[in-house]
Chains A and B, each alone.
Chain A
């Protein structure tokens, strides 16, 4: 069965620290990959997407993700987080979502 796995359920870090969230998917062939973010009290919003081409994609608010086909991975990164990045982050492959990672950034 197709599935998406996110490595961490909760991450706590300080402002200015670097963030990396892992995501692995089990799909054969071409797949569209996404990261969504859900800020407290808000609905899901697209952070970034990968369809094809350059495996390093840049999204909003300084986030980027790298698609590594050989590892079936699509990890999300941000070099320096802010308190406002506190949110839940979901990786998705086609119509399948991971369980999400709750990220808390402390001042």
Chain B
């Protein structure tokens, strides 16, 4: 499977714990995006990278959230001191920057904070 891969698929954690998710994009894609999706809502943009540079961050990305893409390939999204309101599906997408980018989405990581 050469699509966007996200791990883990599910994560259950206790409030206050830190969690980290990983996204492996389609290999030739230089852009990588993180979204959050809650029940009944569409994906909400969090941040995106072009190669290793983080180019845009949403105001939804509080200081407890940090994302990295150290070598311009895979990316990690870390949430520190998780809160119940962080429970959501975290989606990753990748694209090739052409000015007419088409994003390809992974299956997501579902986070449940107890």
Given A95-B33, A95-B48; A44-B43 close (CB under 8 Å): yes
Are B42 and A97 in contact, CB atoms less than 8 angstroms apart? Answer: yes
Tell whether, in the assembled complex, residue A96 and residue B45 are in contact, meaning their CB atoms are under 8 Å apart: yes
Among B33, B42, B103, the one with the most A-chain Cβ atoms within 10 Å of its Cβ is B42
CA distance A69 to B44 in the complex (A): 24
Q: Mark A46-87, 1 if CB is under 8 A from B, else 0.
A: 100101000000000000000000000000000000000000
Q: Which of B56-114 contact A (CB under 8 A)?
A: 56, 91, 93, 100-108
Nearest B-chain residue to A90, judged by Cβ? B42
Q: Which residues of B contact A44 (CB under 8 A)?
A: 43, 91, 93, 105
Cβ distance B49 to chain A, nearest Cβ, rounded Å: 13
Known: A32-B100, A32-B101. A43 touches B42 (CB 8 A): no
A99 adjacent to chain B (CB < 8 Å): yes
Chain A interfacial residues counted at CB < 8 A: 21
A43 touches B100 (CB 8 A): no
Is A98 an interface residue when CB atoms closer than 8 A count as contact? yes
Check if B41 is an interface residue, CB within 8 A of chain A: yes
Cβ A46 vs Cβ B102 within 8 A: yes
In the complex, the answer to whether A100 meets B41 with C-beta atoms within 8 Å is yes
State A32–B95 Cα separation when bound (angstroms). 14
State which of B44, B106, B108 has its C-beta within 8 Å of the C-beta of A97. Answer: B44
By beta carbon, the residue of chain A nearest B91 is A44
Q: A95-B33, A97-B43, A99-B40 are in contact. Are A43 and B107 (CB under 8 A)?
A: yes
A97 to B93 CA separation, bound complex (whole angstroms): 13
B102 adjacent to A90 (CB under 8 Å): no
Chain B residues lying within 8 Å of A98, measured Cβ to Cβ, are 42
Q: Which residue of A lies closest to B93 (CB)?
A: A44
A43-B105, A43-B107 known; A99+B100 contact, CB < 8 A: no
Q: B56: shortest Cβ distance to chain A, in Å?
A: 8
Q: CB-CB < 8 A to A95: which residues of B? A: 33, 45, 48, 56
